[in-house]
Amino acid sequence: MSTVAPAMARLSSVKSYHCALLLVAALAVSAFYYFGSERENFSSTTKRIKENRAAQSTSSDFDLASPDGRLADENRSPTKSKDVDTNSRGTTVDYHLLMMFTKVERNQGLREKFQLAISSLVKYGKFEANEVLNLHFLTDDPSKEVGKMILRKLMQGAAFKYKVIFHNVSSFTEKLFPIVEAMQKHFSAGSGTYYSDSIFFLSVAMHRIIPKEITRIIQLDLDLKYKTNIRELFEEFDNFLHTAVIGIAHEMQPVYRHTFWQFRRENSKTKVGDPPPEGLPGFNSGVMLLNLETMRQSKLYNQLLEPNVVSQLAEKYHFKGHLGDQDFFTMIGMEHPELFHVLDCVWNRQLCTWWRDHGYGDIFDLYNRCEGHVKILHGNCNTPILED
Query: How many whole angstroms separate alpha carbon 203 and alpha carbon 98?
Result: 10
More confident residue, 33 or 294: 294
Tell me the C-alpha distance between 211 and 201, whole Å. Answer: 18
- 144, part of any domain: no
Q: Is residue 27 part of a domain?
A: yes
In a domain? residue 373: no
Identify whether 150 is part of a domain: no
Domain contains 194: no
Residues 309/303, Cβ–Cβ less than 8 Å: yes
What percent of the chain stands above pLDDT 70?
A: 74
Residue 84 CA: distances (Å) to CA of 20, 87, 93? 47, 7, 5
pLDDT tens for 101-112 read: 999 988 999 999
Amino acid 388: pLDDT: 67
- State residue 185's pLDDT score: 86
pLDDT tens-digit map of 186-202: 888 765 555 557 888 99
pTM attached to this predicted model: 0.81
Residue 45 covered by a domain = no
Domain assignment of residue 369, yes or no = no
Q: Is the pLDDT of residue 375 over 90?
A: yes
pLDDT of the residue at 84? 53
pLDDT score of 34: 36
Tens of pLDDT along 273-284?
999 999 999 999
Query: Is residue 134 included in any domain, yes or no?
Result: no
Q: How many domains does the chain have?
A: 1
* 341-362 per-position pLDDT tens digit: 999 999 999 999 999 999 999 9
Q: Which residue has the higher pLDDT, 22 or 366?
A: 366
Task: Give me the domain span that covers residue 8.
Answer: 1-31
CA 309/CA 217 separation, integer angstroms: 26
